[in-house]
Amino acid sequence: MKKKNRQLRLLSVCRDSSREQSEGYSLGAQDQANREWAERKGHEIVETIRYVETASKQKDRQRFREIVNRICSDPTINGVVFHKVDRACRNLTDLAILERLETQKDKKVFFSSQEFPQNAAGRLGIGVMGVVARWYTDNLKEEINKGFRSKVEAGEYPHIPPYGYCMGHGSNGSKLPLPDPPEGRDSSYNLQANVIRQAYHRHTPRRAFPKRHVFFPKDTTLDTFPSGKITTPSIL
């Protein structure tokens, strides 16, 4: 007679690397896949945790560590389910933390779209997928930097134009950031230029800018950009 698996109480953890990704359907799709997997396996999802955090830089993974510490300290939680290995981690340090979660804390780690057996072969498979995820991140970074270098060598600006500028063409035809005044008006009428002028007007030259300061009241459209980024000195 086949032994029935014990029902486990699990956290469904969903991660995206950027706020732009999280505003789409990715986090919801991850949670749905995790819950469907748990239902098939006869386990219970006691809570869903959704967060935005890069997985490639070990020093930036504060939220990940908070989740791991909670799993370790809560005896009512038997483990965690992620959508894929690369949704959990993309560096070898965090991969080792997940392995210790199983081997030392007797907590279970599952991946709803990637089935691994709960033995040495399964841990090997997870390790291989983790190394592949790390390689993907490193290779992507190298390719992006290669593209930046090519643009700089060609005399072009490699990034998004600064606030108040648009991408135009220099005297030699290369793409460079140029002031962005409204058509038919002097640059002094530029809304973005006025935003910068108001920001600096609110602070005396002797006063240092706070690191995370919102320059404008929340009831105006000038405190944030359409993407949701706060207007800060570094942006201006």
Q: Which helix (H) or strand (E) holds 34?
A: helix 26-41
CA separation for the pair 16, 22 (Å, rounded): 6
Q: 176 is written with which tokens?
A: 């460079």
**64 secondary structure, DSSP code:** H
Query: Which residues make Cβ contacts (< 8 Å) with residue 47, sequence separation at least 6?
Result: 11, 12
Helical H runs in 168-212? 191-201
Residue found by looking up tokens 């279970």 in the block: 108
* Domain locations in the chain as residue ranges: 9-141
Q: Are 210 and 199 in contact (CB under 8 A)?
A: no
pLDDT of residue 154: 81
pLDDT of residue 52: 86
Is 9-141 a CATH 3.30.70.890 domain? Answer: no
- Cα-Cα end-to-end distance for the chain: 70
pLDDT digits (tens, 9 = 90+) for 190-201: 566 666 666 666
Low-confidence ranges of the chain (pLDDT < 70): 1-5, 18-25, 55-60, 163-164, 171-172, 180-236
pLDDT digits (tens, 9 = 90+) for 107-147: 999 999 998 887 888 888 888 988 888 888 889 889 988 98
